[in-house]
Amino acid sequence: MKENKIATLIFVLFALSACAAGGGVKDAGSKDDAQRVEERRAPVPPVPKPRTAQPPGWVLGKGHPSYPLSRYAVGVGVSESSSVAANESARSELAKSLKVEIQSEMKDTATSEWTYVEEIIKTKVKTRLEGLDIRDGWRDPDRDVYYALAAIDRNLLAAVFRDQIKDAETGLKNHMDEGTRAEDNGEVIGALAHYYEGYRLAPNLDSLKKTLRVVVRSPETVVQDLPSLTAEKFSARIAGIVQTLKIAPKSGDKQEVKTIKSQLAPLVASVYLEKGTQRIPVRNVPAIFEYEKGAGELTREQASGPAGELETAVHSISSFAEPAHLISVKLDFPKIAANFDPEMVRQFLEPLKNVKTTFGYFIKVIATGPKTQDWHEGMVNLANQIIKNLSPEGNPRIGVIAFKDQRSDKATTVGRLLKDDFTVALAQAENLTVKEAHVPKNSQASSQDIAKSSGVDFYVTGSYRMGKKDLDVQATLSETGTGHIKSSGHIQIGRESIPAEDLASLAPGGGFAEKPDAAPQSRPENYEESLEKLVALKPEDARFGIKVWTDRMEYQIGDNVRFYVKAEESCYLTLLDVTPNGDATVIFPNKFHKDNYIRGGATYEIPEKSYGFQFAIQGPDGMERIKAIATLKPDPLLNLDLDQGFHAIEKNSRGTRSINVMEDKLSQKSGSEWAAGYAEIFIFNRDRVFTRGARQIPLK
């Protein structure tokens, strides 16, 4: 019986144990099986290990008892690699903390000013300011992280900014002093440079002072300020120069030009700073002279001298039709602006574009009587002949080189007068520019070379010869680039119409007396000049006349041309053809008609139909001229080589000698023994025809 009780007890304990393990009857407040299973599966958080060492307060952001923020600027650095890296991080953080501290206090500081201060902080911290050091360090043994504390005494940092302020103040004072000295000496470029540098640097000084006050945490002024040099003071100095820089005429204004030969006195302007009643001369300032009304040649670019003077000379006047001319002188703004950066130019210097003054001179209209009117009409007529073959398009530049005496090739008063008065007439034409062609004294350069150096598109050369009754004047217009003749002109002015006051050198016997300084010239050895002289040559008192003409006045390259000749008396004919490029050919006599005798009153056609060929226009475009020379005696003017059909005069020294031989033979004959005829035709490029004579000068 006793054994059964023990067995029962064991069974009950076993059953209770089984219920406790998950089976058996549930209690009202017990957990269900699923919940208990879930709890068994949930991870159990690890139990944190106790720190082996507690971090110091400065690591936790509580500050360091030895380096209070009221006296020190601090930075805490962190690194997982090494203590050295933590030290560098601490220094960087110190700079950042200063930046945040200063920037938060300097709310009114411009971005550019702050950038300057920030750069100083970074630079000084990077180079380890004196007194900046790593004050403390700690390694977290549990996390293996390094900490470092950098600190600097605010007074030591303030000393750095005081040095910066002192340097800045000294620099600004130097800029102000140097600018003032330059301004007082009239050196405005240097003065503006110093004032602008001061204007640019002055804000940095103000920001440095603000930074110093923040660093030392004192609202009081902690630096002994020199007289404050602000950006406003420097900008006021710049404005003072810009507003008071003036240019005014000093001499040469309101001159009167009575003739084309009049030489204007130099135009002199003063450039100065106007300081109350005082005028400070300004030196080394570039300026530009230019025509605002009228036209002429002058020295354009100048710079003011030590006395503040700008001077130019008018070398020639091109527009005599306008009664009043106006020349301005203004500052050469681009050259001035090139000394400064664009921001200064935009902000301060733009008004200098408008600094200028003007000079005026007047063309006096001289009343003309009956005699001088003929002279004037002759010049206009000659100018119209010269420009008649110019295309109506464009605005060509024309230079007048010279008018030479056909007999002596001397530089005479009449030649200069003709050149000047012809230039006056030519300048009245519309849509062309008459430019002075400068001929150096004793120059041996050709007319074409002179024209090229003068920068003109066309040039005019002329010749004249005074007869017993008339002044015979001829001129040609040539293209500068090619030398091809484009047109020619011929006038005669009666001796009684020549203005006595301008031709006081007229000598008895029909010649012209030379001025004492007019040196005679040698006979021309130039082919072109010799040829022109021959083309213009004619007897003074011809006993008979001869005419030469063509079937029309205008041709295109490739067209056929016929020449016609008729002499009043029987004579011996030499017919010379001169192309626009100066090629000279004797077209009669020729291989097909070697006998050059022609009967008086008969009309001859060249080439005759019996020749079996035509003359085709070869070009180039321009003026082709035909010169007929008739002599009463059969003396040959040239030794003709007709094997090729026609005798060509070579464009070289040999050809020049041949032309001079012809001239000598004709000059030795009396006026009753020979006669000359002349004709011209104009040649157009094929299918490039324009209306000739579109340019005309009105006769006033």
Q: What pLDDT does 500 receive?
A: 61
Q: Does domain 546-684 have CATH number 2.60.40.1930?
A: yes
Is the pLDDT at 450 greater than 80, yes or no?
yes
Task: Give whole-number Cα distances, 128 to 64, 67, 94, 116, in Å.
Answer: 21, 18, 11, 19
- Name the DSSP letter for residue 114: H
- The pLDDT confidence band at residue 2, using thresholds 50, 70 and 90, is very low
- The pLDDT confidence band at residue 124, using thresholds 50, 70 and 90, is low
Is the pLDDT at 358 greater than 80, yes or no?
yes
Q: What pLDDT does 632 receive?
A: 94
Per-residue pLDDT tens for 311-350? Answer: 998 887 877 767 889 999 999 999 999 999 999 999 999 9
Q: What is the 3-state composition of the chain as percent helix, strand, coil, each rounded to the nearest 5?
A: 35, 30, 40
Is the pLDDT at 509 greater than 80, yes or no?
no
Q: Which residue has the tokens 């804000």?
A: 203
SS3 645: coil
Integer Cα distance of 650 and 584 in angstroms: 8
Among 30-39, 353-362, 502-511, name the most confident range.
353-362
SS3 654: helix
**pTM for the whole thing?**
0.51
Beta strand spans in 347-422 (E): 356-363, 397-405
Q: What is the DSSP string of 89-111?
A: HHHHHHHHHHHHHHHHH-TT--H
Per-residue pLDDT tens for 531-581? Answer: 988 898 888 788 899 999 998 999 999 999 999 999 999 999 999 999 999
Report, as an integer, the average pLDDT of 609-631: 90
- Lowest mean per-residue pLDDT among 181-195, 268-282, 398-412: 398-412
- The pLDDT confidence band at residue 261, using thresholds 50, 70 and 90, is low
Sheet holding 356-363, edge to edge: 255-257, 356-363, 324-331, 286-293, 301-303
**Element of type H or E holding 464:** strand 458-466
Mean pLDDT taken over the chain: 81
The percent of residues above 70 in pLDDT, for the chain, comes to 79
Q: Which residue has the tokens 């005699």?
A: 371
Amino acid at 190: G
Task: Please give the CATH number for the structural domain made up of 370-522.
Answer: 3.40.50.10610
Integer Cα distance of 82 and 353 in angstroms: 64
Helices (H), 223-345: 231-244, 333-337, 342-344
Q: Whats the size of the chain, residue-wise?
A: 700
Q: Where are the domains of the chain?
A: 58-222, 243-363, 370-522, 546-684
Integer Cα distance of 340 and 335 in angstroms: 10
Q: Among 479, 624, 627, which residue's Cα sits nearest to residue 554?
A: 624
Task: Give whole-number Cα distances, 250 to 99, 288, 315, in Å.
Answer: 60, 16, 19
Integer Cα distance of 489 and 473 in angstroms: 8
Fold equal for 243-363 and 546-684: yes
Residues 6+ apart with CB under 8 A from 153: 71, 72, 131
Q: What pLDDT does 301 receive?
A: 92
Q: Which residue has the tokens 């003011």?
A: 304
Q: What pLDDT does 288 receive?
A: 95
Q: Is 633 exposed, middle or buried (0-12, 13-18, 19+ CB in 10 A)?
A: exposed
Q: What pLDDT does 39 receive?
A: 53
Q: What pLDDT does 108 receive?
A: 53
The percent of residues above 90 in pLDDT, for the chain, comes to 41
Q: Does domain 243-363 have CATH number 2.60.40.10?
A: yes
Q: What pLDDT does 272 receive?
A: 96
- More confident of the two residues 230 and 602: 602
Q: What pLDDT does 48 receive?
A: 59
